[in-house]
Structure 1
Amino acid sequence: MTIKKVGIFGAGKVGIVLAGLALKAGYEVRISGSGPVDKIKLTIDTLVPGAIPEVNEEVAEQSDIIILAIPLSRYKNINPDLLKGKLVIDAMNYWWETDGIREEVLNPDSTSSEQVQDYFKDTTIVKTFNHMGYHNLQEEVRPKGDPKRKALFVTGDNKEAVDQVAAFVDSMGFDQVVHYDISDGIMTEPGSPLFGASLNYEDVKNTIDNFDQTEFGKKIKLHR
């Protein structure tokens, strides 16, 4: 599948930034918010002119790839049938200020992306765009081969899908460190050494290679 049309669920800071990057990369972009289209139209027209504000159903139907850029506590507000058969990027993180008590949002026995994948069971989920701050995503775009180019971690259980998303990340202006296990998304969650960091390929790879999942899992009450 050739990705030409990008859909984004979430018209907050991350969603707006990713919409802008996708437009600059030459994609057709649709974006939805939590309410009616009229509620976000002025924001979209002002901040990312060229992006098309629509409701979730239209965004899903018209897009080749979907990015979930909403608060993690709200992903179950989306009917899983809406994303059936779709390639979806999980750019979400648990964040207590917006999501509330962790135990009310996440089962402590698995990572957030595993739970997102379990909920959208007929959807292919790939984790990326979640560990770099939105301001860095906006400001650190570089062409391929630029020595100052930054890298993003990309992981999921479907190798073909992960490779496709990695190519998409490349087109958006970032190198990629790739894994093929969605549970490795824990390495990018808040509290991890990678979260909030803006690093090049080698530094991201070294951070991932030296990551102790067991100890970090204990820290966030993840008992694997």
Structure 2
Amino acid sequence: MRIGVIGAGFIGQAFARQVIAAGHDVMISNSRGPQTLSSIPPKIGAQIGSLHEAIGFGEIILIAIPFHQYATLPVEPLRDKIVLDANNYYPDRDGSIPELDERRATTSGLLAQHLTGSRLVKAFNAILASDLEKGGQTLPSGNRRALPIAGDDDAAKESVARLVRQFGFDVVDAGSLAESWRFERAKPAYCIPFDREGVRQALDEAQRDIDMPEGSWRR
């Protein structure tokens, strides 16, 4: 499988490492151009390219960018692609986005409104880059760590679930994109290592208007 990555930060690079370890091909891009990514291939083994080259390269595209930049993503090239939304909203970085501040939208909902025609799946946002880089982990319970995913396209979700399992994690289907707020930043399932039962419980405990205290997750 060929996978394109938009965003060469910590999550993008950690994800690319797991793609390669799983036996797939990956191309990384960022907004500044491939000339700024010359150190990545020897370090990770990934190909580098422009944003449009990475989109054209990938059957699946991971997006991991500062969320305030989401409206700059090209719509037509991503149409019909499986798009992994690994983004999180951090107001101190992204500025205020009223729809999110007032709980009228989710990050995936805004991205889906912009990327009309894409097969969007929320995934890989609820794990620290340092944890993702290690791959699947066995928890003290003896069970594997699980990651939540959400989306409206069942076939796209199954493709993403297979990839998550290839990375060594279990998967919990959190439902539709409308339910993806349950594992956004500052919710109980965000970046805390849980097995499947723990993730399900954390998703159930999430409350739309209540955030966990800052720093209650590992950053």
Q: TM-score, normalised by structure 1?
A: 0.87
Q: Does 1:30 align with 2:27?
A: yes
Deviation at 1:91, TM superposition (A): 0.3
Conservation of the 8 A alpha-carbon contact between 2:14 and 2:129: yes
For residue 107 of structure 2, what is the aligned residue in structure 1?
112
Q: Does 1:141 align with 2:142?
A: no
2:142 aligned counterpart, secondary structure:
coil
Q: Does 1:75 align with 2:70?
A: yes
More helix by share: 1
Q: Does 1:18 align with 2:15?
A: yes
1:216 aligned counterpart, secondary structure:
coil
Given the superposition, is the C-alpha separation of residues 140 and 20 from structure 1 closer, same or farther in structure 2, using an over 3 Å criterion?
closer
Match for 2:180: what amino acid?
A: G
Equivalent residues in 2 for 1:24-173 (5 A)?
A: 24-42=21-39, 44-48=40-44, 50-103=45-98, 108-142=103-137, 147-173=142-168
Q: What runs of 5+ residues in structure 2 fail to find an aligned partner? A: 212-219
Q: 1, 6, 11: which one pairs with 1:9?
A: 6
Q: What runs of 5+ residues in structure 1 fail to find an aligned partner? A: 218-224
Alignment length (residue pairs): 210
Take 1:157 and 1:104, find their aligned partners in 2: how far apart are those partners?
21
1:34-57 Cα distance to aligned partner (Å, 9 max, x none)? 212111122x12431x20010111
1:115-137 Cα distance to aligned partner (Å, 9 max, x none)? 11111111010001001111111
Take 2:47 and 2:92, find their aligned partners in 1: how far apart are those partners?
29
Deviation at 1:62, TM superposition (A): 1.3
Deviation at 1:107, TM superposition (A): 7.4
Take 1:169 and 1:207, find their aligned partners in 2: how far apart are those partners?
19
Take 2:135 and 2:198, find their aligned partners in 1: how far apart are those partners?
15
2:147 aligned counterpart, secondary structure:
strand
Given the superposition, is the C-alpha separation of residues 183 and 67 from structure 1 closer, same or farther in structure 2, using an over 3 Å criterion?
same
Query: Alignment identity in percent?
Result: 27
CA RMSD of the aligned region, Å? 2.2
